[in-house]
Amino acid sequence: MKQRSDYTFKYNIKNGRHGWLRLTPAYSIKLVKEILSSDTLFATECQARNILDPFCGTATTGVVAAEYGLNCTLYDINPFLVWFCKIKAKNFQDTSLEMLVKKVESDIKSLQKLDKNYWLPPMKNIERWWSEDTLASLSTIHNYITTQWGCPNYNDDYNLLWIAFARLCIETSAADFNHISVSFKDNTTIHEWKSVTDMFLAILMPMIQSAKTNLTGNVTIHEGDSRLLQYDGLYDTVITSPPYPNRISYIRELRPYMYWLGFLESGEEAGELDWKAIGGTWGCATSRLNTWMQKNSHLPQMLLDTCNAIESSDTKNGKTMAAYVRKFFDDMYIHFGNLRNHLKPNASINYILGNSSFYGHFVDTDLIVEEMLRELNFSNISSTIIRKRNSKNNLYEYLIRASYN
């Protein structure tokens, strides 16, 4: 089994809108297209099909579906991702994009770098991310977009500037996103003002070019919790990738964007948001596990056995890690239970999920989810390994499919 980078975010980088902003756990447009075209409804009733992605991340499913002219509804719990998806899935007017380009190019050429009293986001250890000089440059561009255009919103074309700014923040930082966690280079780089403004325009221009291709399907995006799926809607096909039970927090990767763009103001707020997310680990999202109470009495025995093994294998953190795994599947069980109220007869569901390992005990996500789906009366349940996630350990990604009658 290979690592198949063509099924990961890497495949999306040079694909128009799909390359606007990287999210390391995103899946590839190629995978979504393969799932869509293997669905029996695709050939017969293609245009009538309603797709749901209840854990949409960067809207990979939604934008692919809309490129095919299909309607798609997305949910995510993270307000930054919801904002990003709304802009990524928006149709723009060529003429207004051209006016935007002209004005930004001329403004940026005459912009003077601020050298004192500039605003900085309230990020802890910000000096690990950027040198003082680069921070002044970033803050100058931040101030330009805020004062000349406005704060991030869901409607205006200028939101493309904010996406380019988010990319600029990450490309000038000392953070290394080459693997799934974030690490830092030993030293921050000093970027000259001219090189920062050139970089900003070099990110923005191709983005604006790709925004000119219109999407023919409709994408509806809700900020909401997929355990509840609180908005009305009936769907034929679900294509999604929830978090995995592997202690990877989305806040860890998204927090520089979220602080700079005003979606986060403190570490406490980050913890609260991660506690609402399935599989979250940031701040209070881990400490609260010690008092958390399981909601469902029907969780698979295999899961309970794995949790017992994790709990007894490490005296310091075993109990917390066992609660983490149990909560992950408890939340997923609630999600699958409520999902049934939103599925049309014979709907198909397609979940990309990964296994994990704690103190040498493997969490067999594929088998546990299959068992939960059986318990909830789904049929035609299957799972296949689609890629290896790691060269050393036996960590895999699975495509778990089922239907509901």
Residues of this chain that interact with ligand SAM (CB under 6 A) are: 23, 25-27, 55-58, 60, 75-78, 81, 225-227, 241-243, 250, 277-278
Q: What is the closest distance, in whole angstroms, from the C-beta atom of residue 86 to ligand SAM in the complex?
A: 14
Burial 343-369 (b: 16+ CB within 10 A, else e): beeebbbbbbbbbbebeebebbbbbbb
Using left for φ > 0, alpha for ψ between -120 and 50, and beta otherwise, residue 117 falls in left
Q: Specify whether the CB–CB gap between 58 and 88 falls below 8 A.
A: yes
* Residue closer to ligand SAM, measured from CB, 55 or 200: 55
CA–CA separation, 234 and 47 (whole Å):
15
Q: What is the closest distance, in whole angstroms, from the C-beta atom of residue 346 to ligand SAM in the complex?
A: 24
* Residue closer to ligand SAM, measured from CB, 207 or 285: 285
Antiparallel, parallel or unpaired: β 183-184 and 175-176:
antiparallel
CA–CA separation, 216 and 391 (whole Å):
40
Q: What is the closest distance, in whole angstroms, from the C-beta atom of residue 305 to ligand SAM in the complex?
A: 25
* Residue closer to ligand SAM, measured from CB, 138 or 349: 349
* Residue closer to ligand SAM, measured from CB, 81 or 104: 81
* Residue closer to ligand SAM, measured from CB, 371 or 397: 397
CA–CA separation, 99 and 157 (whole Å):
10
Residue number with the shortest CB distance to ligand SAM?
Answer: 57
Burial 120-155 (b: 16+ CB within 10 A, else e): ebebeebeebbbebbbbbbbbbbebbeeebeebeee
* Residue closer to ligand SAM, measured from CB, 189 or 390: 390
For residues 207, 209, 213, 219, the Cα torsion angle rounded to the nearest 10 degrees is 20
Q: What is the closest distance, in whole angstroms, from the C-beta atom of residue 78 to ligand SAM in the complex?
A: 4
Q: What is the closest distance, in whole angstroms, from the C-beta atom of residue 58 to ligand SAM in the complex?
A: 4
Q: What is the closest distance, in whole angstroms, from the C-beta atom of residue 123 to ligand SAM in the complex?
A: 19
